[in-house]
Amino acid sequence: MSESVITLRGVRADLGSRPVLRGIDLTVHRGEVVALLGANGSGKSTAIRTIIGQVPVSAGQIELFGTPRGRFRDWARVGYVPQRTTAAGGVPATVTEIVSSGRLSRARFGMLRKADHEAVRRALELVGMADRAKDSVNALSGGQHQRVLIARALAAEPELLIMDEPMAGVDLASQEVLARTLKDQVAQGTTVLLVLHELGPLEPLIDRAVVLRDGCVQHDGPPPRAVGQHALPGHDHVHPHSPDHEPMRTGLLS
Amino acid sequence: MDFLDYAFMQRALLAAVLVGITAPAVGIYLVQRRQALMGDGIGHVALTGVGLGFLLSWSPVWMATLVSVLGAVLMELIRWYGKTRGDIALAMLFYGGMAGGVLLINLAPGGSNANLTSYLFGSLSTVSQSDVTAICVLAAFVVLVTLGLRRQLFAVSQDEEFARVTGLPVRALNLLTAVTAAVTVTVAMRVVGLLLVSALMVVPVAAAQQLTRSFAATFAIAVAIGVTVTTGGTVTSYYQDVPPGATIVLLTIGAFIVLTGLATPLARRRARAAAAAQPAPDPAECAIPASRQADGPVGV
């Protein structure tokens, strides 16, 4: 197998006194597209946030490009798309200003040169938002906002993309743009780890699915095919997730 | 322009201009991270520094700087570690700082609450030459940080989680923001006073936002408003014999109200322009299918 880009070994993490990850093993190889699936509260977002260092781990090891995460400094190789809710400031900002932040990992002392501004413009073109470059992000729809956040991650021209629910609350037109953008990135050899609630329009891109349940890996292998009604195009997947119910019913494991 | 002949007015105007620049320059990052009232908290803590300065016969401005920087660092640490009862810890820090100042100043020989008034509400006409020197040095630091590191501070204040993945030293930048805010509070202390500092950090930014779509323009307009109201307030207080601190703050709020009034038609015009630019605008209201309309109210 080729070089591993992300490695998690026996990773445990707690939020308060509650264990959220209870010994996760996960490897993502170069060029792979891996989907992290699971019900709400299964720990998939927490797993991603331990990889980027936002949530501390209580046990286990994490490696990025073969380097222990604590000593990893080459952040320009990583593009991150957080859940959309985290990126709202109290001051207006234009699309270009937001996307330029993504280029800081390649800029020295925060100085953006001509090549950096060009990279920002290219990233905006990739997601079809170049014509909105000077607009305030507050004027955008949810799907357009998500495209801006993906452009921000792409501005650094990363080798690895980590995305947390990139399709959540995104209109159909934006979903298509995002799927196409992601397909182009994958074709260029970008490695992708993404949290998804369901495979949806990204299904053909996904090489492997890792399903979490209660902070443990329950399935690691080819993406389970949707069956029956779940496989119909445009099937809208809405169902409640309460701890008392069957925790997973995404049609992925049946 | 006869006021320019007086040395005390020259010092007062210089201090006012520097505060007009620095307070909104730091305030914009506080507003962006939704910590608009942090300046107010630091102002309370700075009072202990003023009291300590009187007690030890050291410069109150430098002591206030030292204590408010320590207070700001402590607040940032509470934000990291004290997740559960952070607000209670902050409340204790704020009011402890204020009570400490009152207590210390009364312990100082010949000190009384009267000495505090000029720090609580500002006392622009008594700004001394050494105060001006201190204000210049501190203001230079604030401008250097807020302009020189604007891209980094913008990224961290906008989205801390993302900033971490760009490799920015998030904790160091958060601490630097807190320290810079503390320094700004002491710069502004002699001009508008500790109790009114926060207004000058927040209101010009809020006023500028009414007109702008970008962070850069908000920054520039907020500083322009800051300088206008601080010099305007200082000159007004010379002619009308009103306290400059209060005048400046009320002028700032006046600017906010005027700009909000101007912004409403501007926003409408922008919305119209945006709608015209869209090739196929969505209808403003949902069309009800004819068949359903005919059925009358839909029962569920």
Tokens of B53: 């300065």
pLDDT 10s digits, A83-142: 876 556 789 999 999 999 999 988 877 788 899 999 999 999 999 999 999 999 888 888
Q: Closest Cα partner for B60 from B144, B139, B120?
A: B120
**pLDDT band, very low/low/confident/very high, at B300 (cuts 50, 70, 90):** very low
Average pLDDT, rounded, for chain B: 86
| A154 vs B78, more confident | A154
| B115 vs A20, more confident | A20
Spatial contact of A195 and A44, defined as CB atoms under 8 Å apart: yes
Spatial contact of B181 and B74, defined as CB atoms under 8 Å apart: no
Chain B residues in contact with A107 by the CB 8 A cut-off are: 151
Percent of all residues in chain A with a pLDDT value above 90, rounded to a whole number:
42
| CATH assignment at residue B147 | 1.10.3470.10
CB spacing of A90 vs B154 below 8 angstroms: no
Contact residues for A99 (Cβ-Cβ < 8 A; gap 6+): A120, A123, A124, A148, A151, A152, A155
Q: Min CA distance, A229 vs chain B (Å)?
A: 24
Tokens of B220: 């520039």
Q: What is the reported pLDDT for B85?
A: 63
Q: What is the mean pLDDT of residues B160-188?
A: 91
In whole angstroms, give the CA distance from residue B70 to residue B263: 40
Q: What is the mean pLDDT of residues B33-60?
A: 89
CB spacing of B162 vs A101 below 8 angstroms: yes
Which chain B residue is nearest to residue A149, measuring alpha carbons? Answer: B162
Average pLDDT, rounded, for chain A: 84
Q: Min CA distance, B4 vs chain A (Å)?
A: 37
Among A98-107, A172-181, B43-52, B215-224, the minimum mean pLDDT is found in: A172-181
Is B28's Cβ below 8 Å from some Cβ in A? yes
* Res. B13: pLDDT tops 80: yes
The partner residue sitting opposite B218, judged by closest CB among A92, A107, A134, is A92
Q: What is the mean pLDDT of residues A244-249?
A: 43
* Res. A250: pLDDT tops 50: no
* Res. A38: pLDDT tops 70: yes
| DSSP-derived pairing of the beta strands A18-29 and A33-37 | unpaired
List, in sequence order, the alpha helices (H) in chain B: 7-32, 38-56, 60-81, 86-107, 113-120, 129-148, 150-158, 160-165, 170-189, 197-209, 215-240, 244-277, 290-295
CA-derived radius of gyration, chain A? 18
> In the sheet where A191-195 sits, what is the strand order?
A78-81, A160-164, A191-195, A33-37, A208-213, A216-221
Q: Which helix (H) or strand (E) holds A81?
A: strand A78-81
B300, part of any domain: no
Q: What is the mean pLDDT of residues B23-48?
A: 91
Spatial contact of B222 and B24, defined as CB atoms under 8 Å apart: yes
Q: Min CA distance, A252 vs chain B (Å)?
A: 30
Q: Min CA distance, A39 vs chain B (Å)?
A: 23
In whole angstroms, give the CA distance from residue B297 to residue B300: 10
In whole angstroms, give the CA distance from residue A148 to residue A120: 11
Is B163's Cβ below 8 Å from some Cβ in A? yes
B281, part of any domain: no
In whole angstroms, give the CA distance from residue A205 to residue A210: 14
- The CA distances from residue A116 to A42, A123, A203, in Å, are 39, 11, 33
In whole angstroms, give the CA distance from residue B118 to residue B131: 13
In whole angstroms, give the CA distance from residue A220 to residue A116: 38
Is B113's Cβ below 8 Å from some Cβ in A? no
B38, part of any domain: yes
B289, part of any domain: no
CB spacing of A93 vs B215 below 8 angstroms: yes
User: What pTM was estimated for this model as a whole?
Assistant: 0.85
Q: Min CA distance, A173 vs chain B (Å)?
A: 14
Spatial contact of B205 and B214, defined as CB atoms under 8 Å apart: no
Contact residues for B99 (Cβ-Cβ < 8 A; gap 6+): none
B230, part of any domain: yes
The partner residue sitting opposite A78, judged by closest CB among B158, B159, B165, is B165
Spatial contact of B158 and A93, defined as CB atoms under 8 Å apart: yes
The partner residue sitting opposite B215, judged by closest CB among A75, A92, A107, is A92
Spatial contact of B200 and B142, defined as CB atoms under 8 Å apart: no
B176, part of any domain: yes
* Res. B257: pLDDT tops 90: yes
Q: Assign residue A180 a region: left if phi > 0, alpha if psi is -120 to 50, beta otherwise?
A: alpha
**pLDDT band, very low/low/confident/very high, at B86 (cuts 50, 70, 90):** low
- The CA distances from residue B122 to A59, B135, B189, in Å, are 53, 14, 6
Q: What is the reported pLDDT for B286?
A: 56
**pLDDT band, very low/low/confident/very high, at B281 (cuts 50, 70, 90):** very low
pLDDT 10s digits, A197-245: 878 788 888 999 999 988 888 888 888 765 555 544 544 444 444 444 4
pLDDT 10s digits, B210-235: 999 999 999 999 999 999 999 999 99
B291, part of any domain: no
Percent of all residues in chain B with a pLDDT value above 90, rounded to a whole number:
51
Q: What is the reported pLDDT for A228?
A: 52
Residue numbers of the domain that contains B63: 2-276
Is B210's Cβ below 8 Å from some Cβ in A? no
Q: What is the reported pLDDT for B294?
A: 44
CB spacing of A93 vs B154 below 8 angstroms: yes
Tokens of B249: 């703050």
Spatial contact of A152 and A98, defined as CB atoms under 8 Å apart: yes
Structural domains counted in chain B? 1
B187, part of any domain: yes
Q: What is the mean pLDDT of residues A15-26?
A: 87
Chain B residues in contact with A79 by the CB 8 A cut-off are: 165
CB spacing of B151 vs A107 below 8 angstroms: yes
Model ipTM value? 0.83
B193 three-state secondary structure: coil
* Res. B288: pLDDT tops 80: no
| B209 vs A2, more confident | B209
Contact residues for A37 (Cβ-Cβ < 8 A; gap 6+): A44, A195, A196, A197, A198, A199, A209, A210, A211, A212, A250, A252
Instruction: Determine which of A55, A91, A111 to mutate to test the interface with B (most B C-beta atoms within 10 Å).
Output: A91
Tokens of B50: 């003023």
